[in-house]
Amino acid sequence: MKGLLLTVLFTTGSATISSYASEDNSANGANPIRKVVTMLQMMTKKIEAEAVKEKELYDKYMCYCKTADETLAKSIADANTKMPQLASDIKEAEAEKAQLEQDLETHQTDRDAAKTAMAKATEIREKEAAAFAKEESNDKANIDAIRKAIAAIEKGMSGGFLQTNAANVLKKLVISNVDLVDYDRAELVAFLQGSEDYAPASGEIVGILKQLADEMDKDYATLVANEEAAIKAYEELMEAKKKEIEALTKAIEEKLVRVGELGVEIVSMKNDLTDTEEALVEDTKFLADLGKNCAAKTKEWEVRCKTRSEELLALSETIKILNDDDALELFKKTLPSASFVQIQVTSDAMRQRAMKLLKSVQRNKYLSKPSKLDFVQLALDGKKVGFEKVIKLIDEMVVTLKKEQVDDDHKKEYCTVQLDLADDKKKELERAVSDAEKAMAETEDALTTVKDEIKVLQDGIVALDKSVAEATEQRKDENAEYTELMAQNTAAKELILFAKNRMQKFYNPKLYKPPPKRELTEEERITLNMGGTLAPTNPPGGIAGTGVSLVQINAHVAEKNHAHQEEKKAAPPPPPEAEFGGSKSEESGGVLAMMDGLVRELDKEMTEAQVTEKDAQEDYEELMSDAATRRAEDTKAITDKETSKADLETELQAAADKKAADESELKATKDYITTLHTDCDFLLEYYKERKEARASEIDALGKAKAVLSGADYS
């Protein structure tokens, strides 16, 4: 256990000790062993967290072991198909990106050249304009002097003219004009000097001056024409260069956008290819050694679990030992915190650090190392290289520094545009992912609503079917009661009528209805014709020997009920009452009347029962019709909602797929932005410093060159 404690103390590293050393005095004054306990507790938590992660990995591995064959075979086949296509796409995209970058460099160089040409043309034009202005001023002055001289001579005022500045200007012109004939020059000079030897010949002088004026006018016109032509040529050149720069700038912007898009696509495809390759390697290896690996992994997991348990037990016991109050008190007395956190800094380390700081001050940290100035210093320190070679080296370095600055300018433009485009793309994809999540949430809510509506409709159909079954059962029971009532009442009515007919036989023979004669069959007629006798007729059966039975009555009632349902005419009413006279019993009339009353009561009850049955049957049929209609409507509604449900599920899946695609592209865009930051951040952050540093070096090199060339800056 002591060895474990020492191991923990020494494996914490200098970083941990340094962190302890930076704490305040109150923290340093605490018992240092508590810090060890805290570290052990952190180790315990870390091991437990690792155990959870490892358990997830193990469960995933075991899941692969169970379902790996078909899944891995399909995954391997898909990967083998996908990787060549991805490699081809990446190669094609990289070739296009390289071509675009080459085009960009060419466009930027051409644009810089065009700008340089414009600047140079502007400089030349300014010099030409200044020269023209100067020469134009001189020509105008000379022509003006000639005109004044001619006017003065023609007016006879040549003496006064010779005293003016115009005469001096004309004199200088005559002396410097190489095109004049020597004789004419001599004449004019003599005239302008007012020489005593000069014989006045005004006409000759005027002629010479006019000829000179004409020549000066022609020269001035030529000068103006040349200036106008130069201005026109300059303007045409500037217009052409402006159009060229605009076209190149547009091409640069478009190709920068395309380069950014290709950069994201390449990163995305490379990530996809890397993931696919890793998955293929893992799947192939896993499939080849599936059984062996699963068994080995299980055994390894058991060993790992046992080792981790032992490690956690050791840490727990160590914490228990060190965290005891008495132990902490003892450690507090024997292990002062100052000795625990003291850091020894050797004098050598301080010296090396100081040297490093001094060296960093001597060179500009924003430019490449070694500095351009170092090469010059090295060359000068060698003392074997002549100044001419040093000056040549300085010129080459100045060109190199300017080239580096141009490269920085191009890269800054590239980085700025690409970062803006990539950031816009990232924001657009983030919005797309957010919109997809909202669409998925809305679709899920709609899907839940549709499912609930389908369930409500299905429950309604079940309840409706149950209600229809109950109504049908109730209708059957009511019809059975009606049938039984009709059978019983009909039987009672026929019995009463039978009894009444029997009384009529005695009391009112005219109203008696004898039973229908028996119709003989053909066989019976043959028997009688041949003198034979018929078999005796069986006495009537039924109730009280009347021949009326409930079976017959039921059949009769059923026939009447059917006839009622078919809306046929009901049976004729009973015969009207008849009055009898004579000496027969007077009570017979009362009995017959009572029988008639009973028959009427039975008819009334049967009529009411028929009406009630008809109404109940119509209500039942209407209920069945409504139920069938409602069931059909609900069934159709369920079908429609099932279709809506399928559509919503399709939309949800499509939204999920789009979200996954957008997230994948967003990841690729972020990776591309990371790559851009890695490549561009330093330049963008220190662009100004680098430019100033190069300018300083160029200035220093220029001064060095001047000094080496003999200049004195003292």
Instruction: With CA atoms as reference, report the closest residue to 252 among 105, 112, 115, 97.
Output: 105
Lowest-confidence segment of 641-645, 657-661, 701-705 by average pLDDT: 701-705
Q: Where is 520: in which H helix or E strand?
A: none
Specify which of 36-45, 111-120, 269-278 reaches the highest per-range mean pLDDT.
111-120
The whole-number pLDDT of residue 24 equals 41
pLDDT beyond 90 at 480 = yes
The 10s digit of each residue's pLDDT in 497-524 is 888 787 777 777 888 788 776 677 777 7
Residue 162, number of CB atoms within 10 A of its CB: 18
Mean per-residue pLDDT, 663-683: 88
Say whether pTM exceeds 0.85. no
Burial class of residue 630, CB neighbours in 10 A (0-12, 13-18, 19+): middle
Neighbour-count burial for 482-499, b at 16+ CB within 10 Å, e otherwise: bbebbbbbbbbbbbbbbe
The 10s digit of each residue's pLDDT in 266-323 is 888 888 888 888 888 887 877 777 777 778 888 888 898 988 888 888 888 887 777 7
For the record, the structure tokens of 262 come out as 């290709």
User: CB–CB of 239/91 below 8 Å?
Assistant: no
Mean per-residue pLDDT, 588-607: 80
The whole-number pLDDT of residue 544 equals 53
User: CB–CB of 486/614 below 8 Å?
Assistant: no
The whole-number pLDDT of residue 230 equals 92
For the record, the structure tokens of 233 come out as 């040529």
Amino acid (1-letter code) at residue 392: K
Instruction: Map 342-363 to HEC letters.
Output: CCCCCHHHHHHHHHHHHHHHHC
User: CB–CB of 238/399 below 8 Å?
Assistant: no
Q: Is 540 helix (H, G, I), strand (E, B) or coil?
A: coil
475/548 Cα distance (integer angstroms): 29
Which residue would you say has higher pLDDT here, 139 or 20?
A: 139
Mean per-residue pLDDT, 239-258: 91
Domain ranges of the chain: 2-334, 375-512+547-569+587-714
Helices (H) and strands (E) counted in the chain, each on its own, are: 18, 0
DSSP, res 156: T
User: CB–CB of 379/370 below 8 Å?
Assistant: no
The whole-number pLDDT of residue 126 equals 92
pLDDT beyond 50 at 403 = yes
C-alpha 216, offset from chain centre = 78
User: CB–CB of 648/464 below 8 Å?
Assistant: no
Which residue would you say has higher pLDDT here, 235 or 369?
A: 235
pLDDT beyond 90 at 239 = yes
Mean per-residue pLDDT, 210-228: 86
pLDDT beyond 70 at 536 = no
201/187 Cα distance (integer angstroms): 9
Cα separations (Å) of 100 from 104, 160, 242, 326, 668?
6, 78, 23, 75, 20
170/153 Cα distance (integer angstroms): 14
Mean per-residue pLDDT, 16-24: 38
Share of the chain above pLDDT 90, in %: 19
For the chain, helix, strand, coil in percent to 5 are 85, 0, 15
User: CB–CB of 245/115 below 8 Å?
Assistant: yes
Instruction: With CA atoms as reference, report the closest residue to 402 among 706, 121, 681, 116.
Output: 116
Establish how many alpha carbons lie within 13 A of residue 545's alpha carbon, considering only the half-sphere containing its beta carbon.
Answer: 3
Alpha helices in 289-324 (DSSP H): 290-322
Instruction: With CA atoms as reference, report the closest residue to 504 among 429, 584, 434.
Output: 584
179/176 Cα distance (integer angstroms): 9
Q: What is the mean pLDDT of the chain?
A: 76
The whole-number pLDDT of residue 711 equals 52
691/391 Cα distance (integer angstroms): 23
The whole-number pLDDT of residue 527 equals 74
395/403 Cα distance (integer angstroms): 12
Mean per-residue pLDDT, 593-600: 82
Burial class of residue 705, CB neighbours in 10 A (0-12, 13-18, 19+): buried
pLDDT beyond 70 at 31 = no
User: CB–CB of 486/571 below 8 Å?
Assistant: no
For the record, the structure tokens of 161 come out as 């003219």
pLDDT beyond 90 at 344 = no
Cα separations (Å) of 674 from 261, 670, 679?
15, 6, 9
Instruction: Mention every residue, 6+ apart, whose C-beta is less than 8 A from residue 486.
Output: 557, 560, 561, 606, 609, 610
pLDDT beyond 70 at 546 = no
User: CB–CB of 157/206 below 8 Å?
Assistant: no
Residue 576, number of CB atoms within 10 A of its CB: 6
Share of the chain above pLDDT 70, in %: 72
254/100 Cα distance (integer angstroms): 10
The confidence band for 202, taking pLDDT boundaries of 50, 70 and 90, is low
To 5 degrees, how large is the angle CA 459–CA 460–CA 466?
Answer: 90
How many residues are listed for the chain in this entry?
A: 714
Which residue would you say has higher pLDDT here, 77 or 32?
A: 77
- Yes or no: domain 2-334 corresponds to CATH 1.10.287: yes
The confidence band for 578, taking pLDDT boundaries of 50, 70 and 90, is very low
Q: Can the peptide bond before residue 509 be classed as cis, meaning omega within 30 degrees of 0?
A: no
Burial class of residue 569, CB neighbours in 10 A (0-12, 13-18, 19+): exposed
Amino acid (1-letter code) at residue 551: V
